[in-house]
Amino acid sequence: MLKGKITKLSVSDVRFPTSLEQHGSDAMHPDPDYSVAYVVIETEGGLKGYGLTFTLGKGTEIVVCAVQALSSLVIGKDSEEIVNDFRSFYRLLTSDGQMRWLGPEKGVVQLAAAAVLNAVWDLWARAEGKPLWKLLVDMDPEKLISCIDFRYITDALTEKEALDILRKARDGKCKREEHMLKEGYPAYTTSCAWIGYPDEQLKQLCSKALSEGWTRFKVKVGADLNDDIRRCRLLREMIGPDKTLMIDANQRWDVAEAIEWVSRLVEFKPLWIEEPTSPDDILGHAAIAKALAPLGIGVATGEQCHNRVMFKQLLQSQALRFVQIDSCRLGSVNENLAVLLMAEKFQVPVCPHAGGVGLCELVQHLILFDYIAVSGSLENRMCEYVDHLHEHFTNPVVIKNASYMPPKNPGYSTEMKDDSAKRHQFPDGEVWRELRASRRVQ
C-alpha cells in the first residue's frame, strides 16, 4: 500500500540525437531529437516513482522549468492522500489559480503536469506490486472513476455513464486478460517509413518487418505529392494488397488541400489519414472526415490533442474515426481514462500514438486496460510501435508476433537506466559533449 509523504522531486532534460539518422522525421518535424523531461519523485519511506513527458529536443528545458514550478504543489503531500482523492490532486496541478493561466490544461504546463502525474501513477503501481495496467484492471469502478476530472465533459459523458461502462465491461474481463497475457495487443509499425529515410532504407526495413510478421504499416506523407505517391506505391507493392497501410501528414495541410491530396492517394487504400490539418481545428477535421468517408478513408488524430475537452468535441462532431491518445500530451493516466471512456460511449476505436522515446513503454498499459476493462474489443484497434531507444529503459516493451506483450514488472515502465539518463542529459552529458567536440551538433 502507498504510504508516506513525498519528500523529493527531481527533473532532468534527457535528449537522444535521433535527428542525425532521420529517425522520427516527418513533413512538419524534419529533424527531431527524441527527448524527455524526466521526473523522479521519492517518498519518506524511500520508494521512488518515475515519470516523463516527450519532446523533440529544443524546448525540453522549458518543460523542465514548468515541472520545477509545479514541484511546490507536490513536495510534502501525503502519497496515500493523493491516491485516495486523485481527482483533487489532478485539479491541484492543472488548475492552480496562477499557473493555469499558462494553459489551462494545455501546452507546456500540461506536459509538465503529465510528467509529474506519470511519476505518481508509477509510484502507486510499484507500491501495490503491480504493473500499471493490472492496477487499473483490478481497481473497483468507483475508485477508478474518482481519479477522473469530469469537469467540462458531462455534456458528453457523466460519471454515471462512465460507471455503467466499467460495470458492463466486467463480463468477460478475466478471459480478455488471459487472452492478452497469451497473445498480446496488436501493433503496427511506423519505423519503416519516416519521411527522411531514402527508398533503399525503407525497402530494407520493410522487408525486415515483413519477415518478423508485421502486417500493419504507416508511412509519413505531406511534403511532396509526387514523392508521397512513389513511396506509398513502393510500400504497398512490398506489403501486398491484404495488409494494412496508414498515412500520416503530421498537420501539414489546410482543409481543402488535405482532401485533395489524400484523394490522390486513394489507390493505395490507406485505412486512415492521420493529423491531416491543425490539431486544434475540430471543424476542419470534421469536414475532412466527411469528404473522405466515401473513399473509405478514416481520419485519425489525437497525439497533439491538448485535453479531454478537445477530444469531446472531436467525438461529438464526428471528426475522427480513430482516437489516438498520447500518454504524455494529456494530463497523464487521469485524463486518458476520461478519453478512453468517452471513446467507448461514442463507439470510436482507440489506436494510441507511441512515436517517441518512452511512449511505447507507457501507452501499452493504457491500451491493455482499454481492451480488458472498457471496450472489450479489438476490432479496428492497434497500438503504434516504433523500434527506437527501448534499450534505455529498465523494463522495455516486449513485442512478440507484432503484438505488445503485457508488462509484468510493477510500475508504469517509466524508469530509465541511470547510465542512459546521465549520458544523454542535456547539455553536459557525455553523448552531447562528444557530439559538440566532433562538431556534429552546435
Contacts of 33 (CB under 8 A, 6+ apart): 15, 16, 17, 18, 19, 56, 57, 58
- Which sign does the torsion angle of CA 378, 382, 387, 388 carry? negative
Residue 37 near residue 115 (C-beta atoms within 8 A):
yes
Q: At 115, which helix (H) or strand (E)?
A: helix 107-128
Phi and psi torsions of 218, nearest 5°? -120, 140
Q: List the Cα angle 380/383/387 in 5-degree steps.
A: 140
**Inter-helix orientation angle 225-239/199-211, to 10°:** 30
DSSP state, residue 281: -
Residue 359 near residue 402 (C-beta atoms within 8 A):
no
Residues that are catalytic: 220, 353
Distances (CA, A) of 253 to 276, 284, 315, 329: 6, 11, 21, 22
Give me the amino acid identity at 24: G
